[in-house]
Structure 1
Amino acid sequence: MLKVGVVGMGSIFRAHLNAYKQMEEEGPAVIEACCDIRPEQMEVLKEKGVRAYTDVDEMFKQEQGKLDYIDICVPTFLHAEIAIKAMEAGFHVISEKPMARTTEQANAMIEASKRTGKQLMVAYCNRFLEAAGYVKSVIDSKELGNVRMAEFKRDDGGGDSMGWNNWFHDGELSGGVILDLHIHDVDLIRWMFGMPNAVSAAAASYITKGGYDTVSTNYFYDNNVYVHASSSWILQHNKFSSRVIRVSFDKGYIYMDRTPEHTIFVKVTEDGIVTDMTDKLTWNFYYNEIKYFCECLINGKPVERCLPEDSIDSVKIVMAEIESADKNGERIAL
């Protein structure tokens, strides 16, 4: 069984924790150590005998040879620093998205992985959503013909305060909604359609200082397919979220709509036959991604999904979107 150390015990860790509870029962992995600057955040694990630290350097020093990998769930601006330290201390790393706050930091993470020989995977959980994988398979196989249009929409309600010290609403730390939330769909777009030639973005800020909290972007490709994505975290109700994928083909249509209250996933063919696939798919993407990483380590295989080299491309795209928004929607080449 793989022994895991977790750094960062905030909201995203709670999603990871549910996955680890299931994996501990099945055997792939168990949390042995944790770290957070807030001792109270670790009580739930300390009660189970997990070794707790408030200093990451001390954790890495004391846990050398005891842990197989580090799961990084800290704020974005700390991803690179902690990932590099972890790999240099001898641990494999799975790190929450986005890969890093800047492309320079992301490149430093890749260099550290190559230099130390440690595996590095960026946890873009939506790559492990079966519905997203199905959409990609239909695109690649041309089962419904060529893509005419694809739209992605992702909204959250965060309220006036989000995260430790409200770091989400500090654009310098989080990159705003574009780098933090919107990048989920940017990564799916790059995965499904490849790198766009250019982007054009409109964005606005209401509660995020030094960054944007709502964005709408067009992505340009040689094949003239229309791809658009929008995101916001300013919905009034902080417990509501919405995830939409719509893809129109020559011979059909795929539609996914997910909220906390319902999930719909249907495929419509050109002859009007509607196939409801909602109950045929699993939706536990956090479990799927962490289990995949564990299986790679257990079997001694290199990670082939969510590679850091791919992940840095998603960062490049959102940085181009931010530049475009800063320039009133100017088309920015990639």
Structure 2
Amino acid sequence: MKKVRVGVIGCGSVARRRHLLEYASNEQAEIVAVVDLVEERAQEMAELYQAKAFTDYKEALAECDLDAVSVCLPNHLHASVTIDALKAGLHVLCEKPMAISAEEAEAMISTAKEYDRKLMIGHNQRFVASHQQAKKLLDSGELGKVYSFKTTFGHPGPEGWSIDGRASWFFNTEEAFIGALGDLGVHKSDLIRYLLGDVAEVGAFVETSAKENTEIDDNAMCILKMKSGAIGSLAASWSYVSGGDNSTYIYTEKAVLKIEADPVYPLVVSYSNGDTVNYELAKIQSNEEGGQTKTYVVDRFIEAITQDKEPLITGEEGLKSLNVILAALESNRTKRFVNLDQ
């Protein structure tokens, strides 16, 4: 079988620790080109993966006979580079958040349709074993009605993760547009939509309180009402100074689901009759030393291409999850709840 010829645009941390590693481990993919404005970074990754290095992504698109690319760039470049790649006839896996506005996201989606290419957004929480098991339980109906939930994603901040540390684009409003909400919150808006269906209304407080010399948000608390009627909270933070929290609790008629909240069991289901079921599952991906790093996003992207099927996280899905975050920003600005149907 012909391998999918891939280019990775951007050689920062998410490319190095996620995309490049996962393409290299996928037998149906071949890394052909790597791109970064910092020539040394592109050269380093090119040597490591026997690829060709570029500092201009347009040259890579023109010269390398690619089938697909990963867009691993600052948020403000996601839309323009994705659209250029789609117009060049390539399938695109774009990092989250997919864009910095609904208009940009819609342009990405329409371009993918116009050029009949696959567009997938890198929301990896849908592929976590505990989340998939929780969805099975919820969809089965055996837990009854969902009453409420709380989902959290927090850690000390991207300076410990980004290749540029505290000088990273993450803290630059023009390049990032959104801070903790876009970095972490959009993961959780996608997760809660995956588990419970679409969001109807959003209210939020969004602050810059933990990081100095930046206007980017680093703490957000959102209240969500789902179309099902369930209500709950979504927290995104770069201020959890002693470690991370990637947990979700779901409160239903017949049980409470504790997801990624127990140090041993990724999913604990405590039933109203007193029974408890502890699920031994693969751990959630982590940036910590020795943690699970495989996200399965790349595998699902390559599978969509080779089997010619719709990606599991389409541009439309990415836009719906982005819209929750954009609504949170609007709610914070206007001090009103935002109805996503309007």
Partners of 1:256 and 1:264 within 8 A in 2: yes
Q: What's the counterpart of residue 34 of structure 1? A: 34
Q: By how many angstroms is 1:241 displaced? A: 2.0
Question: 187, 191, 197: which one pairs with 2:190?
Answer: 187
Partners of 1:3 and 1:67 within 8 A in 2: yes
Partners of 1:125 and 1:286 within 8 A in 2: no
Counterpart code for 2:297: E
Instruction: Sort the Cα spacing of 1:20 and 1:258 in 2 relative to 1 into closer, same or farther, 3 A.
Output: farther
Is residue 207 of structure 2 the alignment partner of residue 204 of structure 1? yes
Is residue 327 of structure 2 the alignment partner of residue 320 of structure 1? yes
| Secondary structure in structure 2 of the residue aligned to 1:152 | strand
- Measured in 2, the distance between the counterparts of 1:276 and 1:263 equals 6
After superposition, give the CA deviation of every residue in 1:70-91 in whole Å (9 maximum; x if it has no partner).
0111111110011011111111
Instruction: Sort the Cα spacing of 1:10 and 1:229 in 2 relative to 1 into closer, same or farther, 3 A.
Output: same
Counterpart code for 2:181: I
Partners of 1:159 and 1:234 within 8 A in 2: no
Q: State the TM-score, normalized to the length of structure 2.
A: 0.87
Is residue 231 of structure 2 the alignment partner of residue 230 of structure 1? no
Q: By how many angstroms is 1:262 displaced? A: 6.3
- Measured in 2, the distance between the counterparts of 1:161 and 1:277 equals 31
Instruction: Sort the Cα spacing of 1:90 and 1:106 in 2 relative to 1 into closer, same or farther, 3 A.
Output: same
Q: By how many angstroms is 1:17 displaced? A: 2.5
Q: What's the counterpart of residue 168 of structure 2? A: 166
Q: What's the counterpart of residue 288 of structure 2? A: none
- Measured in 2, the distance between the counterparts of 1:242 and 1:112 equals 37
> Is there any run of 5+ residues in structure 1 with no aligned partner, and where?
none
- Measured in 2, the distance between the counterparts of 1:156 and 1:179 equals 14
Instruction: Sort the Cα spacing of 1:150 and 1:128 in 2 relative to 1 into closer, same or farther, 3 A.
Output: same
Partners of 1:126 and 1:285 within 8 A in 2: no
- Measured in 2, the distance between the counterparts of 1:199 and 1:72 equals 29
Instruction: Sort the Cα spacing of 1:214 and 1:262 in 2 relative to 1 into closer, same or farther, 3 A.
Output: farther
- Measured in 2, the distance between the counterparts of 1:285 and 1:302 equals 25
Q: By how many angstroms is 1:282 displaced? A: 7.4
Counterpart code for 2:20: L
Q: What's the counterpart of residue 338 of structure 2? A: 332
Instruction: Sort the Cα spacing of 1:213 and 1:282 in 2 relative to 1 into closer, same or farther, 3 A.
Output: closer
- Measured in 2, the distance between the counterparts of 1:257 and 1:116 equals 40
Pairwise CA RMSD of aligned residues? 2.3
Percent identity between matched residues is 26
Instruction: Sort the Cα spacing of 1:321 and 1:30 in 2 relative to 1 into closer, same or farther, 3 A.
Output: same
| Secondary structure in structure 1 of the residue aligned to 2:247 | strand
After superposition, give the CA deviation of every residue in 1:258-299 in whole Å (9 maximum; x if it has no partner).
69x866321222222222213367756844221111112112
- Measured in 2, the distance between the counterparts of 1:92 and 1:277 equals 36
Partners of 2:266 and 2:283 within 8 A in 1: no
- Measured in 2, the distance between the counterparts of 1:154 and 1:167 equals 20
Q: By how many angstroms is 1:173 displaced? A: 2.4
Query: Where do 1:230-269 residues align within 5 Å?
Result: 230-236=235-241, 240-257=243-260, 264-269=266-271
- Measured in 1, the distance between the counterparts of 2:118 and 2:34 equals 20
Q: What's the counterpart of residue 55 of structure 1? A: 56
| Secondary structure in structure 1 of the residue aligned to 2:277 | strand
| Secondary structure in structure 1 of the residue aligned to 2:245 | strand
Q: What's the counterpart of residue 73 of structure 1? A: 72
Is residue 25 of structure 2 the alignment partner of residue 18 of structure 1? no
- Measured in 1, the distance between the counterparts of 2:109 and 2:221 equals 30
> Is there any run of 5+ residues in structure 2 with no aligned partner, and where?
286-291
Q: State the TM-score, normalized to the length of structure 1.
A: 0.89
Query: Where do 1:42-191 residues align within 5 Å?
Result: 42=42, 43-63=44-64, 66-158=65-157, 163=162, 164=164, 165-174=167-176, 175-191=178-194
Partners of 2:158 and 2:170 within 8 A in 1: no
Partners of 2:156 and 2:239 within 8 A in 1: yes
- Measured in 2, the distance between the counterparts of 1:194 and 1:268 equals 22
Instruction: Sort the Cα spacing of 1:47 and 1:314 in 2 relative to 1 into closer, same or farther, 3 A.
Output: closer
Partners of 2:180 and 2:219 within 8 A in 1: yes
Instruction: Sort the Cα spacing of 1:91 and 1:223 in 2 relative to 1 into closer, same or farther, 3 A.
Output: closer
Counterpart code for 2:63: Q
- Measured in 1, the distance between the counterparts of 2:91 and 2:159 equals 36
Is residue 292 of structure 2 the alignment partner of residue 290 of structure 1? no
After superposition, give the CA deviation of every residue in 1:291-322 in whole Å (9 maximum; x if it has no partner).
1111121122232x211112111111111100
- Measured in 2, the distance between the counterparts of 1:269 and 1:332 equals 34
After superposition, give the CA deviation of every residue in 1:109-163 in whole Å (9 maximum; x if it has no partner).
0121111111111111111112112222222211211111111011011276874
Partners of 2:265 and 2:281 within 8 A in 1: no
Instruction: Sort the Cα spacing of 1:118 and 1:147 in 2 relative to 1 into closer, same or farther, 3 A.
Output: same
Q: What's the counterpart of residue 299 of structure 1? A: 307
Partners of 1:171 and 1:212 within 8 A in 2: no
Instruction: Sort the Cα spacing of 1:148 and 1:285 in 2 relative to 1 into closer, same or farther, 3 A.
Output: farther
Aligned length: 324
- Measured in 2, the distance between the counterparts of 1:295 and 1:81 equals 25
Counterpart code for 2:144: G
